Amino acid sequence: MSTRPAAVMHGAEWMQRIRDGDEAVYETLFRTFAPGLCSFLTRYVGERAIAEELVQDVFLSLWNHRATVHITGSVQAYLFAAARNRALNHIEHERVTDRFRVATLTRMSATEASVQGEAECFAALEMQDALAQLPARCRLVFSLQRNHGMSYGEVASTLAISVKTVEVQMGRALKTLRAWYVAQEQLDQHG
């Protein structure tokens, strides 16, 4: 086992010491990388508290699975990828939760909701249906930009893609949504 201080250890050494149950090294790993991970995830999820919770989940999972986790690259790259994946899962979960809420609201009886409220619910549900038709990456880019208020540059940085790719994905999303709404308006006029 290495006797080097945790602060100057490299990937394999970090993991070997953690695999051996060295809580001091695990705590040093957390203190070293958690602040940067929290800042990184805040750009994804929009709220610092949620980002902190997701980072804690990443580290808890690392500790709980330390005997079986095999990191081939740097520990930093592994932690950032794991954190990004947690954030994407969180965003997808929120999207599903929002769809459920909208679907529940649309089932409300006429006596429980005003006509205007029902119209808003149906419009929101239709919007969710249109978004669900988008390819996954396109939907994610659209969600980060529109729902989380990120700039094109922030979306590009967060997803490790170019700003041009964000522009193309947003163009596709908006084109698809416009076509969907035109079709909906035509159905409403003829139905």
Determine the pLDDT at residue 51.
Answer: 92
Instruction: Give the end-to-end CA distance of the chain in Å, rounded to a whole number.
Output: 74
Determine the pLDDT at residue 7.
Answer: 45
CA pair distance 130, 18, nearest whole angstrom: 46
Determine the pLDDT at residue 172.
Answer: 87
- For 126, the token pair is 């239709």
CA pair distance 158, 149, nearest whole angstrom: 13
Lowest mean pLDDT among 13-22, 29-38, 53-62, 120-129: 120-129
| Nearest CA among 14, 59, 20, 65 for reference residue 36 | 59
Determine the pLDDT at residue 120.
Answer: 64
| Residue 121 pLDDT grade (very low, low, confident, very high; cuts 50, 70, 90) | low
Determine the pLDDT at residue 8.
Answer: 45
What is each CA distance from 128 to 77, 115, 118, 123, 152, in whole angstroms?
A: 34, 20, 15, 9, 22
Report which residue type is found at 9. M
- pLDDT tens per residue, range 91-104: 888 887 777 777 66
- Per-residue pLDDT for 164 more than 90? yes
- pLDDT tens per residue, range 67-90: 888 887 788 888 999 999 999 888
150: three-class secondary structure by DSSP: coil
- Helix residue ranges, H only, the chain: 11-19, 23-45, 48-64, 75-106, 115-132, 136-142, 152-159, 163-190
CA pair distance 18, 26, nearest whole angstrom: 6
What is each CA distance from 23 to 16, 49, 58, 60, 155, in whole angstroms?
A: 12, 25, 16, 12, 36
- For 156, the token pair is 């590009």
- Output 61 or 120, whichever has higher pLDDT: 61
| Residue 11 pLDDT grade (very low, low, confident, very high; cuts 50, 70, 90) | low
| Residue tagged 């208020």 (tokens) | 149
What is each CA distance from 99 to 42, 96, 124, 127, 181, in whole angstroms?
A: 23, 5, 9, 10, 18
